[in-house]
Structure 1
Amino acid sequence: MKARKIVDEMDSYVPGRSQDEIAEEFNLKKDEIIKLGSNENPWGPSPKAVEAIKNELGSINRYPESQLKELVHEMALYSGVKDSQVIVGGDGADEIIDVLAKTFIDEGDEFIVPLPSYMYYEYLLQQYGASPVYARWDLDKNELDVDSIFDAITPKTKMIFLCSPNNPTGTLIEKEVLADIAAKNPEILIVIDEAYFEYSEVTNRDLIDEYDNVFIIRTLSKVLGLAGMRVGYGLACEEIIEYMHRIKPVFSLTRLSFVAALSTFRDRDYIAESIRKGIESRQYLYDEVSKIDSLYVFPSKSNFMLINVRDTGFTASELALELMKKGIIVRDCTSFKGLDEYWIRISICTLEDDEKFIEILKEVLN
C-alpha cells in the first residue's frame, strides 16, 4: 500500500544515538559510556518523582487523569501564569507542536524556521501540508538574523518558530526582538520554544499577556529530568489554549508521567540544584574546549554548546565516530539544515564525566 504523498517524500527525523546502540556496535560497557549528545539532565530525576512512580505502579490498570488540573496548576505556579493559560502534552513538547499544527495549520500554509534550529518543527508541520520557509541565524555574529524573518513572511505564513535559547547554537533571542515580530504580525502565531529557558534564567512568559499571537513551548525533559517520561506543556492566551484542547488527545499523559511531573514541580530544591549544576558544567566545558586551538566553541545559554571542528582535520561525523569508539557520544550536526559537515554539539554532564570527555577529546585530536 502506498503512503500519502507527503509521507512518501519525507525524510525520517534523525535523533541522537543511544547508549545501547553504541555499546553494541563498539563492544563497550553501557555504564561506562559518557552521553553528551541528547541534552539531558545527567544527574537523574527528582527522588520525589521516583517515589511517586513507585507508589502509582499499582494503579496502571486505570486510565490516567484527563483534565490534569493539579498538574496544570503546578505548571501555572511555576510559570507565573493563570491555569487557563496552560496546556499539557505527552511525548514531551513534541505533542504540543503536533497539536498546534492540528489546530492551526491548513494545507498550503507556510511556516518560518531560521536555520540552523530544531528540525522537528519542520518534520511535524509538513505532515499537515504546510511548507517550511527558511530564515537564518547569523553564525558569524551568533545571533538571529531578524531581517531574514521579515523577508520570509508571505500572505501564506501561519507560524514562525523561534527557539530561545536556540538549538543547536545556544543563542538567546532578545525579548524586544520577539515582541517586535509579534507586534508587527498579529495574524501569525509566534511560537517561542523555551525548552532550555531555565539554563538561561530568562523567560518570555509575560509576552502571552501582551500578545494574543504568542505561544511558548516548554518541556520537562531538560532541567526537570524527565526525558523518559515524555511531558511537555505550552503557555498562551486562553483562546489559543481552548482551541487546542478541542484537538488534544484526552489520555496522552500516562499515570506515571502525571505523578512524576507533579512531584518534580513541587520539588523546587531539586530544580534549583539541577540548574546550578547544569550551569557549572556548561561553564567548565566551555572553558576547557576553548583552550583547544583547533576547536571553536560558541558561548551558550543552554545545557549544550555548538563546536566548529573544521580545523581539526576531521569532519563532524569522523570525529563523532572516533569519540564513540572510546565511549563518548556527541551529536554530529551534519543533519541540521543550515550547518555543513564540520559541526558537533555537546551537552552538559557530571563534572567527573566532563573531565573524562575533555581528556579523551584531546587524545583523539592529537
Structure 2
Amino acid sequence: MNNNNKDFSNFDLSSLIRDNILKLDPYISARIEHDKEKNSIFLDANENSFGSPLSFLNSYNRYPDPLQKELKEKISNLKNISTSKIFLGNGSDEIIDLIYRIFSRPEIDHAIIFPPTYGMYEVSGKIHGVDIIKISLTEHKYQLNLEKIEKFIFSTKNNKIIFICSPNNPTGNDIKKKDIEYIIKKFTGIVVLDEAYIDFSNQKSFSMEIDKYPNLIIIQTLSKSWGLAGLRIGIAIASEDIIQWMNKIKHPYNISIQSQKIAIKALENKDLFFYHLKNILLERKYIEESLKKISIIQKVYPSSANFLLIKTKINFCSKHLYQYLIKKKIIIRDRSKIIMCNNCLRITVGTHEENEYLIDQIKKYSIQKIKM
C-alpha cells in the first residue's frame, strides 16, 4: 500500500468547499446581531411582545439562541472540547445534509460509503445530486477493505467525502481505530466519522484527536446513550474553520428553546445517565447470551452499540420471525435486504422485562419450527 500520508501542515479547507458556498453572504438573524442582552427591550425580530397563549411558559414568544451557547458549554465540559469546535444540528441528519451542501458539487463530486452502513449517507447524497461510491466492508467481520479503498481514492478524481460509521449501524461492531486513522491520513478530502453509538463502546472517541486532523468531522448525538431522540440534537466536532462554515449555512434557529432547555437539564444528570448506560450494557450481554442458546439463531454478531445484529439459519427465514414478533407486539428491524445482511434482524436493547419477553417469544417460535 502507498505509505505517503497527507501533509496536513498545508491543508487548505477552502479548496474543498463549493464555490457558491465560498461566495455566500449568510443570513444574519436578529439574535446573532443582539444576543439577548439583559434588561433590553426586544423590538427587532417581529416576535409577539405580549407573549404566547402559554402564559406559564412565556419565553416561547422569543426565538431560541441560534448558536445554543449554554447547551454547547454543557457539552464542552462533558467532552472536554472547546465550544468553538462544536456544532449542534437538528439531529445528525441535518449535519450530514450540511456536509454535502458545503463540500460536494452536484453531478461532479463523489462520496464514498462502506455498506452495510447507515442509510442516510446515501439518501442525503442522492438528494444533493452527488455520486455515491460503495466499497463494501469485509465479509464476516465487517471491517474496512483498505486495499480496495486506497486503490479507488488514488485512481478516481473528485472524491470529496468519506463516511465511516463506528460503531457501525446495522452491524454493531467497532471499525478498527488504526484503519480509520489510515483513511484520515491518506484521504485528501473530508472524512466524516459517525460515532452515534460511541458511548456503548470500549473504543475511545476520536474527538480528543480533532486538532491533529483538519479534514475530520466527528458526528455524535444525544439521541442514543442520552435517551433524547425526541429532542433531535446532533453534535458535530471539527476544526473551528469547519464549524464556522456549518454555522454560516445552517437554518437560523435550528434547535428549539424547549429542546435546548431539556438537553441542558439532562446533561446535568450524569449519575442517571451512567446508571442507564450500565444497565444497557448488562442487558446487551443478557440478550446476546440468551440468543446464542436458541436453535434457529445462526449467529449473534459482536456489538459495541445498544443493539444486536442476529442471523437466522437459512431454513428459518428472518422475515417469518420478524412477522411473528410483530404479531406478538414486538417491533424489531428487518435488515435482510441490506447487502451482506442476508437473513439478518437488528434488535435494540430494551428494558429487562422487554428483553425477557422478546427471548421467550423467539424461543417459542423456534420450538414451533422444530416441530414442523
Please tell me the TM-score bracket, short chain as reference.
0.7 to 0.9
Structure 1 residue 160 corresponds to structure 2 residue 162: yes
- 2:278 and 2:125 mapped to 1: Cα distance? 35
Quick one: which of 203, 227, 233 aligns to 2:229? Answer: 227
**Post-superposition offset of 1:317:** 2.4
**Post-superposition offset of 1:84:** 0.6
- 2:278 and 2:85 mapped to 1: Cα distance? 28
- Gaps (5+ residues) in structure 2? 1-53, 368-372
* Partner residue, 2:265: 263
* Partner residue, 1:358: 359
Bigger RCO of structures 1 and 2 (CA < 8 A, at least 6 apart): 1
Structure 1 residue 302 corresponds to structure 2 residue 302: no
**Is the 2:280–2:306 Cα contact (8 Å) retained in structure 1?**
yes
**Post-superposition offset of 1:57:** 4.2
- 1:56 and 1:347 mapped to 2: Cα distance? 38
Number of aligned positions between the proteins: 309
**Is the 2:143–2:176 Cα contact (8 Å) retained in structure 1?**
no
1:93 is matched by which residue type in structure 2? S
- 2:184 and 2:115 mapped to 1: Cα distance? 19
1:294 is matched by which residue type in structure 2? I
Q: How does 1:104-143 map to 2 (within 5 A)?
A: 104-107=103-106, 108-143=108-143
- 1:197 and 1:60 mapped to 2: Cα distance? 34
Structure 1 residue 277 corresponds to structure 2 residue 279: yes
2:249 is matched by which residue type in structure 1? I
Pairwise CA RMSD = 1.8
After superposition, give the CA deviation of every residue in 1:187-224 in whole Å (9 maximum; x if it has no partner): 21110000000000431112311110110001111111
Q: Secondary structure at the match of 1:60?
A: helix
1:180 is matched by which residue type in structure 2? Y
Q: Secondary structure at the match of 2:126?
A: helix
User: For the structure 1 residues 310 and 56, does the alpha-carbon distance in structure 2 shift closer, same or farther, using more than 3 Å as the test?
Assistant: farther
* Partner residue, 1:4: none
Structure 1 residue 347 corresponds to structure 2 residue 309: no
Q: How does 1:169-318 map to 2 (within 5 A)?
A: 169-185=171-187, 187-201=188-202, 202-295=204-297, 296-311=299-314, 313-318=315-320
- 2:55 and 2:213 mapped to 1: Cα distance? 42
**Post-superposition offset of 1:233:** 0.9
**Post-superposition offset of 1:344:** 0.5
**Is the 1:119–1:336 Cα contact (8 Å) retained in structure 2?**
no
User: For the structure 1 residues 263 and 81, does the alpha-carbon distance in structure 2 shift closer, same or farther, using more than 3 Å as the test?
Assistant: same
**Post-superposition offset of 1:335:** 4.2
* Partner residue, 2:49: none
**Post-superposition offset of 1:55:** 11
**Is the 1:112–1:152 Cα contact (8 Å) retained in structure 2?**
no
Q: How does 1:43-54 map to 2 (within 5 A)?
A: none
**Is the 1:207–1:214 Cα contact (8 Å) retained in structure 2?**
no
State the percentage of identical aligned residues. Answer: 34
- Gaps (5+ residues) in structure 1? 1-53
**Is the 1:133–1:152 Cα contact (8 Å) retained in structure 2?**
no
**Post-superposition offset of 1:147:** 2.4
- 1:56 and 1:175 mapped to 2: Cα distance? 50
User: For the structure 1 residues 360 and 100, does the alpha-carbon distance in structure 2 shift closer, same or farther, using more than 3 Å as the test?
Assistant: same
**Is the 2:294–2:366 Cα contact (8 Å) retained in structure 1?**
no
